[in-house]
Structure 1
Amino acid sequence: MRRLTTAATVLVLAAGIGLTGTAGMANAAPAGTTAGAACPTGWGSADKSSEGHEYRVLKNIRTGSHECYDRIVFDLGSAASGLGYRVGYVNEFHQDGSGDLIPVKGGAILQVYVNAPSYDASTGQRTYPGRGRQPLPGVDLTGYRTFQDTKFGASFEGQTQVAVGVRARLPFKVEQVGDKLVVDVAHSW
């Protein structure tokens, strides 16, 4: 009988520790995440690029805030399997063509070049309403954990240049998904 009582005590204690551990994890989870959320790691903060030489026309730029990262998406209007891009941190954001310094708020500046002009080269018509030195049209970063600012640099010689002001130099990843270039910046290391 004593063995049965000891075994029952051990089970009750183990269950109590398990509940305490789960509650502790929920309290330790970053704001906006759930206890079960596992944020990706290992993206790194080094420059990322693709040497693709396909050009697409930029249609839109939009952002989203997710559990583990903030995202900026470049909508290109058609699939871009060989799209060229360069994404990396810079100390200052200088406008292509003029070289003018464009102030960007945040602890670090992520510069994005995408081989997609904001105009139709055959007609000269604008396909995206971004203006040099200005925030990205339609992008509201209220409530974002990582993104603090956006600025349109230029659309020059077939490339569009954009800056994203982030809280700090954080890991990021870049991927092409159909007709989109997607840049995710993690909330933390």
Structure 2
Amino acid sequence: MKRAGRWLSSLWLAGCLVGTGCSKKEEAPPHPAAELPAPDDTPAQPSGAPEGAVARGGEAAAKPPVAVGELPPEEPGAEAPSGAGSPSAGAGAPSGSGSPSAGSGAPSGTGSPSGGATGAGTGAPSGGGSGGVTPENPKNREWTTDAVSLDRRDVPQATLRSVRAGAHPDYDRVVFEFEGTQLPGYRVEYSKEPVVQCGSGNPVTLAGKGQLQVSFTPAKAHTDAGEPTVATRELKPALPVLLELERTCDFEGEVTWVLGNKSNAPFRILELREPTRLVVDVKH
């Protein structure tokens, strides 16, 4: 019986090989997960330097380049000077007996000072608060028609050395330059009363409908011998908005100049140094 079974199995195998052949047992289809690529935890490396990259040398050259961030915008008032004036480094219209040193628009601290009513001075604002001195109020750099003031009663009396004016595409500029490194306190406002000379009380007539008073305390515009430090007390630059300037006070620690504007146009105040200046911009 066993021999008969073995004979039948051999006969079936021979028939399978001679005939159509036997197909192998089909393999099970692969699991879907086997088709996914192997995970890669290595971060992708840039194919090239990013835009604005700075090349690095030495050992750091083999590392990815470092992208440079966008530079901050310039401080207000860094535009090139314009306007008529003496041949100082800028083109503002300087006046007064003071030396034609930098007058300017950019805040101090960036770059060398340059002259003129709107020259690009250095970049950091003056009055950094050292030694108990009241620092500049950043809000005073905003355009306004309201009174702007900063009290510095305890600083030494500052001497005004020059006054100059110049025009920009969007505003007119007046620069008050002082001796030394410290600005006095100030108050800038449109006068609601007729303008008068502080000593005599005589009325002052200026061109324009807006009389912008700029007063400094403690300050003076004369030497110990009584000689004026600014040669002229009246300017007529005839700029788009600023038509005339006149000194109305140099008495008991106060110096006042009045700007005759076409109207009560918005203005802003900038404190600059190297040299020490207070800038008044009047918007067109």
Out of 249, 255, 259, the position equivalent to 1:164 is 259
Question: Is 2:282 aligned against 1:181?
Answer: no
Letter in 2 for 1:181: L
Runs of 4+ in 1 over 2 A off after TM superposition: 122-126
Q: Note if contact 1:80-1:176 (Cα within 8 Å) is conserved in structure 2.
A: no
CA distance in 2, matches of 1:104, 1:67: 24
> Aligned partners of 1:49 and 1:129: how far apart in 2?
27
Matched, 1:84 2:179: no
Mapped to 1, the partners of 2:244 and 2:271 lie a distance apart of 23
Report the Cα distance in structure 2 between the residues aligned to 1:146 and 1:80, rounded to whole angstroms: 29
* d(CA) in 1 for partners of 2:265, 2:170: 12
1:88-127 equivalences in 2 (<5 Å): 88-91=189-192, 92-115=194-217, 116-120=219-223, 122-127=224-229
Whether the 8 Å CA contact 1:111–1:162 is kept in 2: the answer is yes
Q: Give the Cα separation in 2 of the matches to 1:105 and 1:126.
A: 24
Structure-1 separation of matches of 2:176 and 2:266 = 19
Distance of 1:127 and 1:145 partners within structure 2: 28
Deviations 1:1-40 (A, max 9, x none): xxxxxxxxxxxxxxxxxxxxxxxxxxxxxxxxxxxxxxxx
State, as a whole percentage, how many aligned pairs show the same letter. 30
Stretches of structure 2 that go unaligned for 5 or more consecutive residues are: 1-140
Please list the CA deviations of residues 106-147 of structure 1 after superposition, one character each: whole Å capped at 9, or x if unmatched.
Answer: 021101111321112x4433222234xxx23xxx514x1110
CA contact (8 A) 1:59 1:75 kept: yes
Whole-angstrom CA distance in 1 between matches of 2:149 and 2:191: 15
In structure 1, stretches of 5+ residues that fail to align are: 1-40
**Aligned mates of 1:51, 1:180 — CA distance in 2:** 16
Give the conservation status (yes or no) of the 8 Å contact 1:57–1:76. yes
The aligned residue for residue 71 of structure 1 is 173
Counterpart residue identity of residue 174, structure 2: I
Which residue of the other structure, out of 152, 175, 185, is the alignment partner of 1:52?
152
Distance 1:117 1:42 in 2: 27
Which of the two has greater strand per residue? 1
Write the letter of the residue equivalent to 2:260: G
Cα distance between partner residues in 1 of 2:214 and 2:197: 12
**C-alpha separation in 2, matches of 1:147 and 1:112:** 14
Q: Distance in 1 between matches of 2:282 and 2:260?
A: 11
TM-score norm. by structure 1 comes to 0.67
Q: Report the TM-score, using the length of structure 2 for normalisation.
A: 0.46
Equivalent pair of 2:221/2:255 in contact (CA under 8 Å): yes
